[in-house]
Amino acid sequence: MAPAQQNVVDVCEAGVAQIKMRLLDNSFKDSSGVKVIEDNNVIRKDASEKMNSDKDFDISVYESMEFRPRIKWPDLLVQLSLHLVSMYGLFLMVTNNIRFYTTIFVFATIFVSGLGITAGVHRLWSHRAYKATTPLRVILALLFTITGQRDIYTWALDHRVHHKYSESVADPHDVRRGFWFAHVGWLVLTPHPAVENRRAALRLTSLDLLADPVVRIQKKYFIPLFALLNIALPIWIPMYYWNETLINSFVLSFVTRFTMTLNIAYSVNSFAHLWGNKPYDKFIKPSENPLVSFVALGEGWHNYHHVFPWDYRTSELGRFNVSTNFIDIFAKIGWAYDLKAATPSIIANRALRSGDGSLVEEQYVHTIKS
Ligand SMILES: [Zn+2]
Ligand SMILES: [Zn+2]
């Protein structure tokens, strides 16, 4: 019996719960370059070692202060315009008024560029859940730029603030303020002073991000790169290769594609912070949301992710997770390495300690001793 499997048995035999834990060891890949993590506390410290100490930051002061956000009108108008034009784009799509290849191109680009968010700015740069060679980092930076979701540095910094101060006034998209605020409202309203304070603090300590030349270059040339990769090329390709009209290409291949990708990313902050099971920690809002995982390439297993943010898989093995498959493929050729992953025993222990018991619903080990 493998050690991790033995631990699961130990937990169950100790009579901690009647929960039947899943046996993951059969498929757990601790021999293929995955760094097995046995002590969650060690890694938590490691993952946040660049983050600022809180000793000069009293969140209770900010929680009790009165704050009325103002609307950022230019940002609101941009969001409204994108969404209105996208409605027209979807109308053109469903009424078959565009070339079939344009539809294929839009969805293929959403899918492929999305990996730049999930495997790139999220798991690699924000969480350092694995390491990547320069060619892979360049590919991920290009894919991420196609999505147009700000520069790597700004995105990763905000995401670190989100994890460290989740569900507090310092969380940029604090879901306690409701679905719409977490989905898109936070982008069109002035941020809470606590968010600005923590952004500034983490800016001082997230030097690892700017130590990467790929991040620096993408940040420095973000506007021309955005114009080329998010606007010009997506409009030009359908026109050049299958004679799509300029207006259709603009509406579908730029605006609708861009807006759909934005909403998929937004859905992790809204839907996956509100609806789903909490098998690992029932005391936090992030949840396991299969639908979000499907559209967001595996990023909807959000209860797991907030409990084990340093795990490159962002979910247990066996969950639908295209981005994990993508990283695994690059690990096979050596472009992705030092992959961090939680052992089944850590996961099982955490689920027993603080989960909502929903793992019971699945097929588990009962047969653990066999
Ligand atoms: Zn989250
Ligand atoms: Zn994250």
**DSSP class of 342:** E
Q: Who wins on pLDDT, 140 or 53?
A: 140
DSSP 5-33: HHHHHHHHHTTS-S------GGG--TTTT
Is the pLDDT at 370 greater than 50? The verdict is: no
Q: Could you say which ligand is closest to the alpha carbon of residue 285? A: 1
CB 4 within 8 A of CB 25: yes
CA atoms within 13 A on the CB side of 153: 22
From CA 114, how far away is CA 120, in angstroms rounded?
9
What's the pLDDT score for residue 119?
97
Q: Residue 158 Cα, ligand 2 centroid: separation in angstroms?
A: 10
Q: Could you say which ligand is closest to the alpha carbon of residue 166? A: 1
From CA 165, how far away is CA 66, in angstroms rounded?
19
Residue 31 phi, psi dihedral angles, 5° rounding: -115, 5
Residue 174 phi, psi dihedral angles, 5° rounding: -55, 110
Q: Residue 312 Cα, ligand 1 centroid: separation in angstroms?
A: 15
Q: How far is CA 5 from CA 162, 304, 314, in A?
A: 33, 20, 21
Q: Residue 273 Cα, ligand 1 centroid: separation in angstroms?
A: 6
Is the pLDDT at 140 greater than 60? The verdict is: yes
Classified as helix, coil or strand, 38 is coil
Strand partners, 340: 35
Looking at 33-47, 170-184, 248-262, which range is the least confident one?
33-47
Is the pLDDT at 215 greater than 70? The verdict is: yes
Report residue 327 as tokens: 């990283």
Q: Residue 246 Cα, ligand 1 centroid: separation in angstroms?
A: 38
From CA 57, how far away is CA 302, in angstroms rounded?
27
Q: Residue 308 Cα, ligand 2 centroid: separation in angstroms?
A: 9
CB 86 within 8 A of CB 259: yes
Q: Residue 211 Cα, ligand 2 centroid: separation in angstroms?
A: 20
State which of 10-14, 42-46, 338-342 shows the largest mean pLDDT: 338-342
Q: Residue 193 Cα, ligand 2 centroid: separation in angstroms?
A: 22
From CA 298, how far away is CA 325, in angstroms rounded?
10
Is the pLDDT at 6 greater than 60? The verdict is: no
Q: Who wins on pLDDT, 162 or 25?
A: 162
Is the pLDDT at 210 greater than 80? The verdict is: yes
Is the pLDDT at 15 greater than 60? The verdict is: no
Q: Could you say which ligand is closest to the alpha carbon of residue 272? A: 1
Q: What number is the average pLDDT over the span 151-167?
A: 96
Percentage of the chain exceeding pLDDT 90: 73
Q: Could you say which ligand is closest to the alpha carbon of residue 314? A: 2
* Rg value, the chain, Cα: 22
Query: How does pLDDT run across 271-287, given as a tens digit for each residue?
Result: 999 999 999 999 999 99
Residue 270 phi, psi dihedral angles, 5° rounding: -105, -75
CB 202 within 8 A of CB 157: yes
CA angle 3, 7, 11 (to 5 degrees): 170
Amino acid code (one letter) for 282? K
pLDDT band at 97 (very low <50, low <70, confident <90, very high): confident
Strands 336-337 and 339-342: unpaired
Is the pLDDT at 226 greater than 50? The verdict is: yes
Q: What number is the average pLDDT over the span 196-208?
A: 92
Which residues make Cβ contacts (< 8 Å) with residue 207, sequence separation at least 6? Answer: 50
Q: Residue 166 Cα, ligand 1 centroid: separation in angstroms?
A: 7
Strands 34-37 and 339-342: parallel
Helix runs in the chain, H state only: 3-13, 40-47, 59-64, 73-94, 100-115, 134-147, 152-164, 179-180, 186-188, 193-205, 207-210, 213-220, 222-226, 233-242, 246-248, 257-269, 290-295, 302-307, 322-332, 344-354
pLDDT band at 359 (very low <50, low <70, confident <90, very high): confident
pLDDT band at 8 (very low <50, low <70, confident <90, very high): very low
Is the pLDDT at 103 greater than 50? The verdict is: yes
Q: Residue 163 Cα, ligand 1 centroid: separation in angstroms?
A: 6
Q: Residue 123 Cα, ligand 2 centroid: separation in angstroms?
A: 7
From CA 330, how far away is CA 143, in angstroms rounded?
15
What's the pLDDT score for residue 4?
36
Mean pLDDT in the chain? 85
Q: Residue 199 Cα, ligand 2 centroid: separation in angstroms?
A: 16
Q: How far is CA 223 from CA 148, 162, 187, in A?
A: 10, 25, 19
Is the pLDDT at 362 greater than 80? The verdict is: no
What's the pLDDT score for residue 33?
54
